[in-house]
Structure 1
């Protein structure tokens, strides 16, 4: 088994779909697109799966719409960070504040996030 081949983060797929739009491809070079992907994915809860079709067949449509929306918001937040790249002016120490939070850690786990085995008591 090779983890990078057999398992992947589904959010990478959704962020990739957002970044594949003409509005991003025409505006940014490959280095900037890679930065956008990293910054966007860092804001999103990963969903590790083996096969997209198996995951999507059991996923409610509302959740898929929510994940797509979260991906678009994360890319927009990342875009703001790229446009105001602090690496260019290191003397300006301005904190980065995200406009939208992508997920809430207090929300109950989804069916695919729950452990299969119960812990010993």
Structure 2
């Protein structure tokens, strides 16, 4: 078993989707995005899964909405931090 292939944090997928929705993948550098992802993910609780289908079928809509809201808040906080601390 390879952990990097078999297990991943579901928040990573939600985070990347949100960054694309915001258009940050088109307007920010790869370095900024990497920093933004690290800071954002460190603000979020881990939610490890093996298969995406598990989340699709077993995650209540209310919990998914809550997770998406946490991602939005974490990204906003991370952006504020980066924008105030980058030279």
TM-score (norm 1): 0.67
Q: Deviations over 1:11-64 (max 9, x none)?
A: 011011111235312331111011100000000000000001112211110000
> For 1:6 and 1:27, how far apart are their aligned partners in 2?
32
Q: How many aligned positions are there?
A: 87
Local SS of the residue matching 1:46: coil
Answer with 1 or 2: which has the greater Rg: 1
Structure ranking higher on relative contact order (CA contacts 8 Å, 6+ apart): 2
Query: How do residues 1-121 of structure 1 correspond to structure 2 at under 5 angstroms?
Result: 1-85=1-85, 88=87
| TM-superposed deviation, 1:8 | 0.2
List runs of 5+ in structure 1 lacking aligned partners: 89-121
> For 2:29 and 2:83, how far apart are their aligned partners in 1?
13
> For 2:84 and 2:27, how far apart are their aligned partners in 1?
15
Q: Deviations over 1:47-103 (max 9, x none)?
A: 0000011122111100001101110110011000110115x3xxxxxxxxxxxxxxx
Higher helix share: 2
Local SS of the residue matching 2:23: helix
TM-score (norm 2): 0.92
The structure 1 segments of at least 4 consecutive aligned residues displaced by more than 3 Å after TM superposition are none
